[in-house]
Structure 1
């Protein structure tokens, strides 16, 4: 007989109460979650490389089509092409895969999981986030490409459309901030991890670009449209006076 045959049975293992994922609020269910395979630096480097490629290709194309393009218009084109790519492909990827974001290991899937450390709503099929991203991908993505094209071709529709797209981006971003802050301060629900890096770099800074730049472009287009309307009214007034003068003679 072995010396430990009569020893009391070992207690059953205690089930761990630690969450199976790093997202907040703790305890939220993320179906079939898989941790990212790539490091944070690799993911951010890949994203930066994609953005740089978009800028480089756009710059080459624009310089061939309109080599005398002003610096301000060139920067605006780069902005709208980048917006078009992010809205259509990156955010469109989320809309298409929103039910299974937790276990995706593609580049975009892992990028969304990394970003979700600052806003876990992207992994929980949140209705507002899904609706907002759907509108962004379907409307503002293609229209951003169209605005860039209109700038290159010097279309008279450039500023009206730029107002629409910039206002849509601004409105969506304000609502995005507002809904998260409302849940945080009213219901005490935090979707972001407690480390300041995730809040200030991911949640705040990465979205703040779509507050500042669309607002600046919106103001610029409103001013241009106002000047155009003033010039049109002045021309119409001059034409009427000329017509009256001819009739009087």
Structure 2
């Protein structure tokens, strides 16, 4: 009376196999879709950063290649830490049942480390 059974957890690909993940919904797109989109966005960010670093600003000279590469490295790190890890920080409790792009990306990542989907 008044006590309703919680729905059974859906089967999942994570270890340990008996791990119970509440509200888990499997991804609705294949892994290669997520990775292709992630790498495309990363490549576009790298290209834009490289081009912007080569622009002749008020100094009249573009950055040297070593500095441009360092700036590209920082741009990618900022993207990863700000956007991808930021998503996890904000929505870690919703990721198992969410179908947004970044949540699905985290569910793929969690196949290597299930702590990220619990």
Give TM-score, length-normalised by structure 2.
0.83
2:51 is aligned, of 48, 57, 60, to 60
In 2, distance between residues paired with 1:80 and 1:99?
A: 29
Residues 31 and 100 in structure 1, CA contact (< 8 A), matched pair in contact too: no
In 2, distance between residues paired with 1:40 and 1:61?
A: 32
1:1-249 to 2 correspondences below 5 Å? 20-65=11-56, 67-124=61-118
Shift of 1:27: 1.2
Shift of 1:65: 4.4
Residues 23 and 116 in structure 1, CA contact (< 8 A), matched pair in contact too: yes
In 2, distance between residues paired with 1:103 and 1:119?
A: 17
In 2, distance between residues paired with 1:26 and 1:119?
A: 13
Secondary structure of the corresponding residue to residue 30 of structure 1:
coil
Where does the alignment leave 5 or more consecutive residues of structure 1 unmatched? 1-18, 125-249
In 2, distance between residues paired with 1:96 and 1:68?
A: 38
Residues 55 and 62 in structure 2, CA contact (< 8 A), matched pair in contact too: no
- Report the RMSD for the aligned CA atoms in angstroms: 1.4
Question: Max radius of gyration: which structure?
Answer: 1
Q: 1 or 2, which has the higher helix percentage?
A: 1
In 2, distance between residues paired with 1:36 and 1:65?
A: 45
- Hey, which bits of structure 1, 4+ residues long, moved more than 2 A? 65-68
**Equivalent pairs, count:** 106
Secondary structure of the corresponding residue to residue 91 of structure 1:
helix
In 1, distance between residues paired with 2:116 and 2:19?
A: 12
- Specify whether residues 40 and 64 from structure 1 end up closer, same or farther in structure 2 by C-alpha distance, changes over 3 A only: same
Q: Deviations over 1:107-129 (max 9, x none)?
A: 111111011000000011xxxxx
Residues 104 and 110 in structure 1, CA contact (< 8 A), matched pair in contact too: yes
Residues 24 and 96 in structure 2, CA contact (< 8 A), matched pair in contact too: yes
Where does the alignment leave 5 or more consecutive residues of structure 2 unmatched? 1-9
Residues 51 and 82 in structure 1, CA contact (< 8 A), matched pair in contact too: yes
Residues 54 and 81 in structure 1, CA contact (< 8 A), matched pair in contact too: yes
